[in-house]
Structure 1
Amino acid sequence: PDPEFSYHAGDASGNYNPDDGNASVSVSIDISETDNSGLGAPFPNETQGFSMGLANGSEVFATAVNLSLPFTPDFAEDNLFTNGWTIGVVYAFTGGVTLPFTQQTTVITADYDTGGSMAGDPDGATVALTWDDGLGSPPVANVVVVDGGSSQALFDDGSITLNAVVTTDFIRGDVNADEKVNIADGIWIIYELFLGGPVSTCPISRDVNGDGNVDTGDAVYLFNYRFLDGPDPTAPFPDCGQETDQTPEDCGTSFCG
């Protein structure tokens, strides 16, 4: 039998806030070869290049196609479209450079972005990634090159799951959610940590110095800011905002929302 290769598009997920609908994810793109040596076919076969076309749903678009090979090919050109991407790769124009796929191997990492397409959508979506021989002009076929001949790839489609995650704006240091950052917030931290006081509804606001921990250092930092001309609490401060990679658990409710 002829060489039998498969293209595998991975599955990935990303979170977005319905307020802006923005999310970015990366998807692994792999190649594998079926071992048909038991049927008398050579295995593994030494590939000389490949071309790909992967379509996507309207919720996302590709921002980059990052090639990952154990060498720098003589030719590697990709094209990005709103509905997918294509790439053509030739290892060496003069021959002498080949690559076997004895196991499933990642050759590309494709980056995707929603571009705000999920704004106002509280439900999320699953976006199909499907291999497509019709992308581009002229269309790019999904083939692997062996001994100067092309072998049509088998397809393993992928997907991107977009999850709506609502996170709450807050002001760093406003532990008691009264729109002020003052001595009362420092006392709240001490009472909560050591004296069984009430728990803040916005735990991340207690991390006044922004070091990722909540301890006496945060109370001291706040007192220094208020009374000894110390540095301001780290952002978001003095206005409402969010922290990078913030989760819903970081802040349930605050003065900001």
Structure 2
Amino acid sequence: MKRHDRALTVLAVVVVMLALGGATLAQDPVFEIQAPGGEAYYPVATPESATFTGSISIQQTAFPDGGSVPAETSGYSLGVAHDPAILSINTAITVVTSTSGEAVEFEVVNIYFDGVTQGVVYDFLLDWSLSLVVATPVLEIEYQLQAGVLTGATSSSSTTLNVVNTLGDPPVDNVMVVDGASVPAVPVDGTLILTPYEGSQFIRGDVTQNGSLDVADGIGVLNYLFLSTTTTCFNALDADDTGNVSISDAVRILCAVFCPGSPAPEGPYPGCGVDVATDGGSCNAFASCP
């Protein structure tokens, strides 16, 4: 065989071996570190009075070699940044535990003006580990809205919470610990929608403003219609969110309480929120909401 032909043959064999070998190499599991997101409401005049609580979560999204056996993790580190002109952090609390509720043995949380970092080792003796096949909250953060750019705003805006490797000195990496080795995590940023409101947040259908829905709320609508009782939150009585209060709102509430399968009041329900519709409704004060 000619030297040139032999060289080509050897090269071809090497390429095939690399290709086959690459197909059989163990693939690292893939983990996502997911920043919080959602919607936060704030008073137009005093945005700095509003807070938003969200959790950073971790989830394994791919398994080695296309299998289904989850990787057991023994710790991790992460960092999540925010825009300091929009947000600050009040508290950041480690919430990850063992499946039996045992607290982690080592955790360090550092809060910065523009973000937060966390480092966790579950157990130094490796007595327990965690598989994270579903999104698992690991750090609960309370954000405080800032004054300034939000003051006087009349429409919703958004800000991004970024999973980053740049916070701290030295910077903290986003990694998982699996079998004693560090596995880089995939960052998943979160978006926080900021919605201004006037008056008070409320729970639709909760006429008595006690934080729950019961027969007294349906009766409260009837009393408003036929006995001329007053309310500090018209929107709470408008259970179907039509911009008007009628007997159908009382029926909607009573059926939600007593009729299986009947629809609940329109949003915001069952938690506090605001009415973004321009239907003439208002809520000046609501005892169970900020």
Alignment correspondent of 2:282 = 249
**Residues 151 and 205 (structure 1), Cα distance of their counterparts in 2 relative to 1, 3 Å cut:** closer
1:54·1:130 contact (CA, 8 Å) conserved in 2?
A: yes
Alignment map for 1:94-109 (pairs within 5 Å): 94-109=125-140
**Residues 124 and 40 (structure 1), Cα distance of their counterparts in 2 relative to 1, 3 Å cut:** closer
TM-score (norm 1): 0.65
- The Cα shift of 1:111 comes to 1.4
1:12·1:25 contact (CA, 8 Å) conserved in 2?
A: no
Alignment correspondent of 1:232 = none
- The Cα shift of 1:88 comes to 0.4
CA distance in 1, matches of 2:196, 2:159: 14
Alignment correspondent of 1:12 = 38
Question: Structure 2 residue aligned with 1:47, among 73, 91, 96?
Answer: 73
SS at match of 2:282: helix
- The Cα shift of 1:95 comes to 2.3
**Residues 95 and 194 (structure 1), Cα distance of their counterparts in 2 relative to 1, 3 Å cut:** closer
Question: 1:79 aligned to 2:110?
Answer: yes
Alignment correspondent of 1:89 = 120
SS at match of 1:121: coil
For residues 60-85 of structure 1, give each alpha carbon's deviation from its aligned partner in whole angstroms, at most 9, with x where no partner exists.
12222222223211111111112111
Alignment correspondent of 1:213 = none
**Residues 205 and 83 (structure 1), Cα distance of their counterparts in 2 relative to 1, 3 Å cut:** closer
Alignment correspondent of 2:232 = 204
1:17·1:165 contact (CA, 8 Å) conserved in 2?
A: yes
The letter of the residue matching 2:129 is T
Question: Structure 2 residue aligned with 1:114, among 136, 145, 148?
Answer: 145
In structure 2, list runs of 5 or more residues that go unmatched: 1-26, 201-222, 235-271, 275-280, 286-290
- The Cα shift of 1:139 comes to 0.4
Question: 1:30 aligned to 2:61?
Answer: no
- The Cα shift of 1:123 comes to 3.0
For residues 154-192 of structure 1, give each alpha carbon's deviation from its aligned partner in whole angstroms, at most 9, with x where no partner exists.
111102111110118xxxxxxxxxxxxxxxxxxxxxx96
Alignment map for 1:81-230 (pairs within 5 Å): 81-117=112-148, 118-167=150-199, 194=226, 203-204=231-232
Alignment correspondent of 2:14 = none
- The Cα shift of 1:94 comes to 2.6
TM-score (norm 2): 0.58
- The Cα shift of 1:101 comes to 1.1
**Residues 164 and 148 (structure 1), Cα distance of their counterparts in 2 relative to 1, 3 Å cut:** same
CA distance in 2, matches of 1:5, 1:246: 33
1:3·1:41 contact (CA, 8 Å) conserved in 2?
A: no
2:39·2:194 contact (CA, 8 Å) conserved in 1?
A: yes
- The Cα shift of 1:6 comes to 0.8
- The Cα shift of 1:119 comes to 2.2
1:2·1:41 contact (CA, 8 Å) conserved in 2?
A: no
Alignment correspondent of 1:65 = 92
Q: Runs in 1 of length 4+ with deviation above 4 angstroms?
A: 245-248
In structure 1, list runs of 5 or more residues that go unmatched: 169-190, 207-244, 253-257
SS at match of 1:34: strand
2:54·2:141 contact (CA, 8 Å) conserved in 1?
A: yes
Aligned residues: 188
1:23·1:116 contact (CA, 8 Å) conserved in 2?
A: no
RMSD between aligned alpha carbons? 2.9
> How high is the sequence identity, in percent, across the aligned residues?
28
1:75·1:89 contact (CA, 8 Å) conserved in 2?
A: yes
Alignment correspondent of 2:260 = none
**Residues 192 and 62 (structure 1), Cα distance of their counterparts in 2 relative to 1, 3 Å cut:** closer
CA distance in 2, matches of 1:25, 1:128: 14
